[in-house]
Amino acid sequence: MKLKDHRVILNAQRASYPTDPPFGPEDNALYQSVTDLLKTAYPAPDGNYLGALIKPGDKVVIKPNVVKASHERKEGEWEQVVTHGAVVRAVIDHVLTALKGEGEVIVAEAPQTDTPFNVAMERCGIKAVVDHYQNTSPVKVTILDLRKEEWVAKDGIVVKRTELPGDPLGYKEIDLGDKSAFCEVENNSSPFYGADYDIEKTAEHHSGGRHEYLISNTILECDVLINLPKLKTHKKTGMTCAMKNLVGVNGDKNYLPHYRLGDPASGGDQFSKHDLKTASERKLVTIWKKAMYRLPGFVNECFRPVKAFMRLFYGDTKNTVRSGNWHGNDTCWRMVWDLNKAFLIFAKARSYLTIVDAIAAGEGDGPLAPDRKDCGWLAMGEDPQAIDRVLSELMGFDPEKMGFLKRPLEEECPTPEVIFVSEEAKEQIMTTPPFEPHFGWKGHIELPKDAKKVL
């Protein structure tokens, strides 16, 4: 696939999300805002705005960001954490217009492994939206959990693992080899840590010149992919939006290096400094997690008081740099870049579109526990890297401080053309105060006040 259109279309609205699923167009300002975004990018007298990208008979995959069922620390909050079902509804309506009664729509996602899929999809309204189409649409509309496994975790301890059906089309193991962003650091002896306790499995897929990812065939074989990310800060990559949302197309989280064990002095980026406390934490936690991976869940549950004690001694992650949660993380951005590169090389998709939900965005301790930031923004484009660069600057962040934006996905990386739907939208977007970065990125990622911007 070749990224051809580098425009970034921006819209804004004052209204908040609608509250009554399935979020139809009646008295729904957000629905109209999405429509105006599409109309600006792809004008069509008959209202078939996505007809430029979607043809009758296509298989269209919608990829929202539903990483968790709720805010990590505030059970009642979720709108700044995940893509809202109202955005999904507006997009699918326009997709169905383009399909003209022929084709298929799949809403596909791979939430964090300890997240109940149905609970997450119901809470954000996506399940109600899909149920609505299953009762009303001649085109098949389904929802799909791309994960191969789901956990039950208590206080961060995995006490139960359940094997899932996963993608009915299976997965493709893709080796990027010398095209991987990890090539330049693969001789580093410090081991990778993925998303589980099985460090050896992550090393197996990222060593000896191999850099492998397990990508869903539903994603790779669709005709059109529509990426619907949520705009948030991110503790490991600085921000999460279009490019980071492709982490959810990978079926096994252990293929995804998140950081290297240790500190910079030992070739790692797990911690920002070397001292007795971080050195002992690395050794103890590594041994402990290896043991928990092999022990039955009921035994692991006995470790919960141990973890609580260790938190008291080593500090809580919400205010302590660990697990690569800082600007010196030189691992996670490479994984994000690799997944986007793999999609461009191996996917059969004819079209790839991103529409960003930043009506309520997330700042501070993102991506799982961000503070709500009411922006009212929507963004759209066909180049995910261009979208992320523009939005990072609107957040007040320097894109050159984030590796997945500093390194181009293609040989040429044109300056994006920024288009505002209206002067009112431009005024609202340009006067929004900067985002508060994650504390591990504070003092590093912010743009100087006199910086020259893409805008």
| DSSP track, 74-131 | -TT--TTTS--HHHHHHHHHHHHHHHTT-SEEEEEE---TTS-HHHHHHHTTHHHHHH
Asked if residue 290 has pLDDT above 70, the reply is no
Domain count, the chain: 1
- The mean pLDDT of the chain is 93
Instruction: Give the model's pLDDT for residue 282.
Output: 82
Question: Quick check: is 155 in a domain?
Answer: yes
pLDDT (tens digit per residue) in 225-240: 999 999 999 999 999 9
Judge residue 288's burial from the number of C-beta atoms within 10 Å of its C-beta, 0-12 exposed, 13-18 middle, 19 or more buried: middle
Asked if 231 and 242 count as a contact pair (C-beta separation under 8 A), the reply is: no
Q: What is the token pair recorded at 391?
A: 């939005």
Separation between Cα atoms, residue 339 and residue 342, nearest integer Å = 5
More confident residue, 280 or 225: 225
Asked if residue 295 has pLDDT above 80, the reply is no
Instruction: Give the model's pLDDT for residue 420.
Output: 98
Question: Quick check: is 392 in a domain?
Answer: yes
- Coil/strand/helix, residue 156: coil
pLDDT band at 9 (very low <50, low <70, confident <90, very high): very high
Asked if residue 278 has pLDDT above 90, the reply is no
pLDDT (tens digit per residue) in 36-48: 999 999 999 999 9
Which CATH number belongs to the domain containing residue 379 in this structure?
A: 3.40.50.11440
Question: Quick check: is 162 in a domain?
Answer: yes
Instruction: Give the model's pLDDT for residue 216.
Output: 98
Asked if 233 and 239 count as a contact pair (C-beta separation under 8 A), the reply is: yes
Instruction: Give the model's pLDDT for residue 293.
Output: 61
Question: Quick check: is 201 in a domain?
Answer: yes
Looking at the chain, the whole-number percentage of residues with pLDDT higher than 70 is 95
Instruction: Give the model's pLDDT for residue 129.
Output: 98
- Coil/strand/helix, residue 214: strand
Instruction: Give the model's pLDDT for residue 289.
Output: 67
More confident residue, 313 or 22: 22
Question: Quick check: is 272 in a domain?
Answer: no
Q: What is the token pair recorded at 135?
A: 């009762």
pLDDT (tens digit per residue) in 138-157: 999 999 999 999 988 887 77
Question: Quick check: is 145 in a domain?
Answer: yes
Instruction: Give the model's pLDDT for residue 300.
Output: 66
Question: Quick check: is 266 in a domain?
Answer: no
| Least confident segment among 188-197, 248-257, 314-323 | 188-197
Instruction: Give the model's pLDDT for residue 189.
Output: 75
Separation between Cα atoms, residue 373 and residue 230, nearest integer Å = 12
Separation between Cα atoms, residue 133 and residue 17, nearest integer Å = 20
Asked if residue 80 has pLDDT above 80, the reply is yes
Question: Quick check: is 116 in a domain?
Answer: yes
More confident residue, 379 or 157: 379
- Which position has the token pair 């692991």? 300
More confident residue, 156 or 443: 443
Provide the domain limits for residue 125: 7-259+325-430
Instruction: Give the model's pLDDT for residue 374.
Output: 97
Asked if residue 69 has pLDDT above 70, the reply is yes
Instruction: Give the model's pLDDT for residue 280.
Output: 87
For the residues 406-427, what does the mean pLDDT come to?
A: 94
For the residues 403-411, what does the mean pLDDT come to?
A: 95
Asked if residue 292 has pLDDT above 70, the reply is no
Instruction: Give the model's pLDDT for residue 63.
Output: 98
Asked if residue 181 has pLDDT above 70, the reply is yes
Parallel, antiparallel or unpaired: strands 417-420 and 7-12: parallel
Asked if residue 311 has pLDDT above 80, the reply is no
Instruction: Give the model's pLDDT for residue 136.
Output: 97
